[in-house]
Structure 1
Amino acid sequence: MASIQERKKNGKPSYTAKIRLKGHQPVFQTFTRKTDAVRWASQTEAAITEGRFFKTAESQKHTLSDLIQRYIRDVLPRKAKVYVEYASQLKWWEEQIGDVRLSDLSTALISEKRDLLSRTITNRKKQMSPARVNRYMAALSTALNTSIREWEWMEDNPMRKISKLKEPRGRVRHLSKDERESLLAACKDSVNNHLYLAVVLALSTGARQQEIWGLQWSEVNFETGFITFTETKNEESRSVPLKGHACKLLLEHYRIRRKDSDIVFPSKKNPAVSYDFRNPWKKALVVAEVEDFRWHDLRHSCASYLAMNGVPMRTIAEILGHKTLSMVQRYTHLNAEHLTEAISDMNRKIFP
């Protein structure tokens, strides 16, 4: 219940509004005009009753820096896959607007910093891509949502009204027959004995870079002919057939594997961590004279070969681990011959 107490100092009156409600800590505020005290008491009492007031009070006590530091300390350790990336991105936000109180964190301010990000020149001397800017935004939004749901530091996420930057459609770069033969030959001749196997596995399974580099023997089942990737991007296990040349090579590698590590491609210096293929991979690309090609494009190549062989889009999505068909629609044009046969067959049946 609210009460207004009048006091005078040096002949000037002041009015202190006090609110005491059962189950809540008392709050008070002093004003020079009684009407302001009455208005504040009425609005605050309603806010307390509706459960809004103390959340607002928390947002006034904490800065964005407080939020980011707590999130990195208490939450990120449970998100090992994104720890490094999120920590780096959140620290950028902290440098830019870390001193801003959460109660003053506005949509306009965050939008201003988003635009600053989009003009940033990266280490590669290129302007930051819309996709990367969106990842910075996603990291901050995730931290803010945690403070709302779990800590009750904020009532609403100011990023809810901010639109993502439009990203260009993902590229589809796959190896031509000649490029594939040249690259595989260069990998086979590489000073790294395992590069060829790693590339063959990537091409035959469509697995992501870290799924191949971090593959463990416990995920390989030669009896059933399947690899079950457990450390995936969407954190859901995915089983992919292990057949033909890839299976034969992996079985040969298994027979001479290191017994002190479960990792298929362990580091030479420390068998507890995976080998980093970046240097031998780059050298193989130079030797093979294959340009504008990344390791991730081996995944695109696998999907493209599947599409060109008439494999349904839904099956390709399942092999790649995509939950929706939207991510594999980029390969539809490679399936044109298969679609032509389907339409021709339908026309023959309905127009004899």
Structure 2
Amino acid sequence: MTTTTSTSYRGVRYRESQTRKHGSKPDRYFFIRYKSDGKPKEEGAGWASEGMTSQKASQLRARITENIRLGRRPQSLAEMREMMREAREQAAVEERRAAHAATTLDEFWERHYLPSSTLHKTPQTMRTESGYYAKWIKPVLGNSPLSALTPPLIEQVASSAMTAGRSAATIRHLLAIISQVWGMARNHEIVSGECPCTRIKKPRKDNRRMRFLTESEASTLLAELKKRSQDTHDSALLSLFCGLRAGEIHALTWTDLNFTAGTIYIRDPKNKHSRHAYMTDEVRAMLTERSQVPNGTEYVFPAQNGAKRNWVSDTFERVVEQLGLNEGISDTRQRVVFHTLRHTFASWLVQSGTPLYTVAELMGHTTLEMTKRYSHLSPDTVRAAAMSLQGRLSQ
């Protein structure tokens, strides 16, 4: 049994190891003894081979007993070690914070935001975001530490875009990108608190598309699309004659088609409710032809891997540019995009005298206010209705 040997220092003892060596002699492990709450207590101070001596152990004991007398911390070696561990961890945290505080927006964009966003955003979205970042955000904020971003600094991005004639929608998109970067940086504990963008007054977004296709333009577009891609042509045809959004078309399954009733069940991903579209002869013929060539999936317009398609093919944009439909047009609301087909559907209906309420139902609008943008296309039915009362009493 190993014996404990007293030293010349009060309350300090040691035991010699039977296996460990310190030089040519057995290693010594030092203990201190003191009273806590009136009870004797013994704690290990450390090995001689690790730098502990009877004098150092005595100094530790003196500190502990003095703290017990004065009611301060630490009041044991265990508590002292725990406080030292906490101090080391806090120092590490502060060191990380200091490093994070120096992380610039550009560094975070390249190291974290781009790699992470690419995994769950579409290629088109990433091209748009990267373009906006390179042109508007990076020149103003790229070299700024994320922790130093302030509303006035971010407003410079909005101001430069506004001065260049960019739309309110573009400016809101720029602020949204900065907000998303901030949110991810907060998750990485690089910044804390609310994003400075929340204190910036955002311009009103006016993204009401007023451009719609003429019958000639629509016919030419469909014909050219058919030469390039049957899928893109069929999707465009469906949007043009049924007013479907791209997301609604991509979500269509074969069970949504009722050829007997001539209806299409639409799951509206935007407004979280459903409605029915109605097959014209053109749509029925197209869907019938597609149904005769099974694609092996539940979707009517699947992606190449058979899964649900998530974006419109670039073929549509290329054909639009080839036909010059956007030539000389800078206002994004006037440019022809896939959504223009849905807008054309509504515009043609209103031009033919269809009541706005009926158009709203077919479009899946949640309020009639959303449909009123087309009212200027309506024949003079309102005036005619009012004038129909003329002379009523005299009759």
| TM > 0.5 fold call | yes
RCO greater where, 1 or 2, for CA within 8 Å and sep 6 or more?
Answer: 1
Equivalence for 2:200: 162
Check the 8 A contact 1:59/1:154 in 2, yes or no: no
Distance (Å, rounded) in 2 between the aligned partners of 1:111 and 1:285 = 34
Check the 8 A contact 1:90/1:140 in 2, yes or no: no
Distance (Å, rounded) in 2 between the aligned partners of 1:216 and 1:76 = 28
Aligned residue for 1:253, secondary structure, equals helix
Q: Which amino acid in the other structure matches residue 108 of structure 1?
A: P
Equivalence for 2:212: 174
Distance (Å, rounded) in 1 between the aligned partners of 2:276 and 2:264 = 5
Check the 8 A contact 1:205/1:240 in 2, yes or no: no
Equivalence for 1:52: none
Relative to 1, partners in 2 of residues 1:187 and 1:96: Cα closer, same or farther, differing over 3 Å?
Answer: closer
Relative to 1, partners in 2 of residues 1:154 and 1:339: Cα closer, same or farther, differing over 3 Å?
Answer: farther
Q: Which amino acid in the other structure matches residue 337 of structure 1?
A: D
- Count of residues in correspondence between the two structures: 288
The CA deviation at 1:184 is 4.6
The CA deviation at 1:100 is 4.5
The CA deviation at 1:195 is 4.7
1:197 aligns with 2:234: yes
The CA deviation at 1:304 is 0.5
Equivalence for 2:148: 104
Relative to 1, partners in 2 of residues 1:262 and 1:61: Cα closer, same or farther, differing over 3 Å?
Answer: same
The CA deviation at 1:297 is 1.9
Relative to 1, partners in 2 of residues 1:119 and 1:271: Cα closer, same or farther, differing over 3 Å?
Answer: farther
Equivalence for 1:19: none
Deviates further, 109-118 or 75-84: 75-84
Aligned residue for 2:380, secondary structure, equals helix
Distance (Å, rounded) in 2 between the aligned partners of 1:116 and 1:284 = 30
Equivalence for 2:349: 306
Q: Which amino acid in the other structure matches residue 114 of structure 1?
A: A
Relative to 1, partners in 2 of residues 1:251 and 1:209: Cα closer, same or farther, differing over 3 Å?
Answer: closer
The CA deviation at 1:135 is 0.8
Aligned residue for 2:210, secondary structure, equals coil
Distance (Å, rounded) in 1 between the aligned partners of 2:378 and 2:239 = 21
Aligned residue for 1:239, secondary structure, equals strand
The CA deviation at 1:112 is 1.0
Relative to 1, partners in 2 of residues 1:116 and 1:306: Cα closer, same or farther, differing over 3 Å?
Answer: same
Q: Gaps spanning 5+ residues in structure 1: where?
A: 1-25, 27-57, 121-126
Aligned residue for 2:293, secondary structure, equals coil
Relative to 1, partners in 2 of residues 1:184 and 1:90: Cα closer, same or farther, differing over 3 Å?
Answer: closer
The CA deviation at 1:305 is 1.4
Distance (Å, rounded) in 1 between the aligned partners of 2:188 and 2:238 = 42
Deviations 1:123-158 (A, max 9, x none): xxxx65442222111233356578889989644443
Relative to 1, partners in 2 of residues 1:104 and 1:192: Cα closer, same or farther, differing over 3 Å?
Answer: closer
Equivalence for 1:255: 291
The CA deviation at 1:64 is 7.0
Q: Which amino acid in the other structure matches residue 200 of structure 1?
A: L
Equivalence for 1:135: 173
Equivalence for 2:157: 113
Aligned residue for 1:140, secondary structure, equals helix
The CA deviation at 1:159 is 2.4
The CA deviation at 1:334 is 0.9
Distance (Å, rounded) in 1 between the aligned partners of 2:384 and 2:99 = 65
Check the 8 A contact 2:232/2:315 in 1, yes or no: no
Equivalence for 2:382: 339
Aligned residue for 2:276, secondary structure, equals strand
2:272 corresponds to which of 231, 236, 243 = 236
Q: Gaps spanning 5+ residues in structure 2: where?
A: 1-82, 84-96, 328-335
The CA deviation at 1:347 is 5.2
Correspondences of 1:72-87 after superposition (within 5 Å): 84=126
State the TM-score, normalized to the length of structure 2.
Answer: 0.54
Relative to 1, partners in 2 of residues 1:154 and 1:198: Cα closer, same or farther, differing over 3 Å?
Answer: same
Among the aligned pairs, what percent are the same residue?
23
Aligned residue for 1:241, secondary structure, equals strand
Relative to 1, partners in 2 of residues 1:74 and 1:185: Cα closer, same or farther, differing over 3 Å?
Answer: closer
Relative to 1, partners in 2 of residues 1:95 and 1:324: Cα closer, same or farther, differing over 3 Å?
Answer: farther
Distance (Å, rounded) in 2 between the aligned partners of 1:183 and 1:348 = 49
CA RMSD of aligned residues (A): 4.8
State the TM-score, normalized to the length of structure 1.
Answer: 0.59
Deviations 1:95-131 (A, max 9, x none): 85366556532111001122234467xxxxxx65442
Q: Which amino acid in the other structure matches residue 174 of structure 1?
A: F
Check the 8 A contact 2:248/2:268 in 1, yes or no: yes
Check the 8 A contact 1:226/1:241 in 2, yes or no: yes
Deviates further, 296-305 or 135-144: 135-144
Q: Which amino acid in the other structure matches residue 244 of structure 1?
A: T
Aligned residue for 1:263, secondary structure, equals coil
The CA deviation at 1:331 is 0.8
Relative to 1, partners in 2 of residues 1:60 and 1:278: Cα closer, same or farther, differing over 3 Å?
Answer: closer
